[in-house]
Amino acid sequence: MKIAVISCIHGNLAALKAVLADIDQQGVEQTFCLGDLVGYGPYPNEVVAMIRDRQIPTCQGCWDEDIIDGLNACECSYPSLLAEKRGRLAHEWTDAEVTAETREYLAQMPLALRHENLCFVHGSPQSQHEYLLPETSAFIALERVLSTGADILFCGHTHVPYVRTLSDGQLQIRVVNGAESASKNTPQSILKKLPEQHSQTLTAPLKRIVNAGSVGEPRHGKPQATYVIYDTLSEQTIFREVDYDYAQTCAAIINKGLPPIFSWRLSQGLEFAEKADDPTHVCER
């Protein structure tokens, strides 16, 4: 069975149309969406209508949540005051633009979807706003997959596609004993009572994280929309890049009064956001 996974549409109707047309040509039997249907882009209602018309199972993204629960629902911070100003402008515009029908649909979307040994989320099983980056601690990344009971976790949110293998069959845990962590001045009588050092090897099946990238706001250095196809029989993941008329969306962003920087970064496939020292807490909407 071939499964397509799309994410982060962000109101980009032209990109969504192009990706769905490509999916139709690839022999895909089921499509899943990882959310963020709205935000940044100029056509939030049209995107939601197309996802609904195609009956694509979709989980709630961070933008979808914020439109329902209010800006900064995740209580995370922006990397700069300028980024915060842009984010607020985009949120206010989107909040005013979406219809009651669109809002109702965004509110009822689940936080996660399951299909056999696959799990689909927007950011992570913990939160729509958590970034699972390629450099995220292997222990944390593995825990996130194990918490779902699935073998493969599909996510988006970062807008950069990747595949990460987390276990080749064994996971070794070394427990530092009290004696090793004690001060060198600790009396011997106390050291003798501390537990001994030990390690344990656990058997863990192969786990993977697959990031689907972004249909409507790619940030992998190219303007092409990205998504993934997963073959459940061969267990092969194929990344797809789809050309579309992004200039059409760029013009609509400006014409509708959204921050012009959104148009520039869409055309470049780049984020263009001031970087924080610790990107794990940043939610640049």
Round to whole Å and give the CA distance between 157 and 123: 5
Q: What is the average per-residue pLDDT within 51-65?
A: 97
Closest C-alpha among 226, 228, 224 to residue 214: 226
Distances (CA, A) of 1 to 25, 29, 61, 230, 233: 15, 6, 26, 8, 7
Q: Strands 152-155 and 118-121: what pairing?
A: parallel
pLDDT band of residue 125 (cuts 50, 70, 90) is: very high
pLDDT of residue 204: 59
The owner of tokens 């985009």 is: 90
The two structure tokens encoding residue 199? 């390690």
Phi/psi-derived region of residue 70, left when phi > 0, alpha when psi is between -120 and 50, beta in every other case: left
**pLDDT digit string, tens, across residues 237-272:** 999 999 999 999 999 999 999 999 999 999 999 876
Closest C-alpha among 211, 238, 35 to residue 136: 211
pLDDT over 60 (residue 167): yes
**pLDDT digit string, tens, across residues 8-49:** 999 999 999 999 999 999 999 999 999 999 999 999 999 999
The one-character DSSP state at 275 is P
pLDDT of residue 271: 77
pTM above 0.85, yes or no: no
